[in-house]
């Protein structure tokens, strides 16, 4: 789940279960961020029978090991899924307009409403070979070098 602050503002668990009823009933599992105060949202999902993924697992690792990636709004999960070879699905809650989804740029994302999920999910999933894994060590080294030496712009 992404956009959890917005979901909480809209009514929390009861809102989420209603807004994404068809998507959640399809058997997808949910992963929440590791943030304090999300326990009621997790409880609402669990009470409704939605499988919960350990929030400490990295999204990139999940994307590389699952047949379908679904989000409920824009987030880095979409880019991580695309890197893993997916065409992820972004299911917009009924109260979110298409602008809520943001600009996906070059990402190949299947955008739909909850009522369209059953059909759209057939066009999603792993559609290409996965790209190279993100090398955190190289990234951190590059950032440290840039901070140490500055930029010559």
Residue boundaries of the structural domains of the chain: 4-149
pTM exceeds cut of 0.85:
no
Does residue 152 register a pLDDT over 70?
no
High-pLDDT (> 90) share of the chain, %: 32
Percent of the chain scoring above 70 in pLDDT: 84
pLDDT computed for residue 24 by the predictor: 95
Distance of CA 50 to CAs 25, 30, 43, 83, 129, Å? 8, 7, 10, 26, 29
């Amino acid at each position: 789940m992404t956009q959890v602050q917005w979901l909480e503002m809209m009514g929390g668990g009861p809102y989420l279960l209603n807004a994404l009823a068809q998507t959640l009933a399809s058997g997808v599992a949910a992963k929440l961020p590791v943030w304090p105060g999300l326990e009621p949202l997790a409880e609402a999902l669990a009470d409704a029978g939605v499988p919960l993924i350990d929030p400490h697992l990295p999204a990139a690792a999940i994307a590389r090991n699952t047949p379908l990636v679904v989000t409920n709004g824009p987030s880095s999960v979409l880019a991580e899924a695309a890197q893993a070879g997916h065409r992820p699905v972004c299911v917009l809650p009924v109260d979110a307009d298409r602008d809520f989804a943001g600009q996906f740029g070059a990402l190949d994302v299947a955008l739909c409403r909850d009522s369209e999920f059953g059909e759209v999910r057939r066009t999603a999933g792993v559609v290409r070979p996965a790209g190279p894994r993100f090398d955190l060590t190289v990234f951190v080294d590059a950032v440290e070098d840039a901070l140490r030496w500055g930029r010559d712009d």
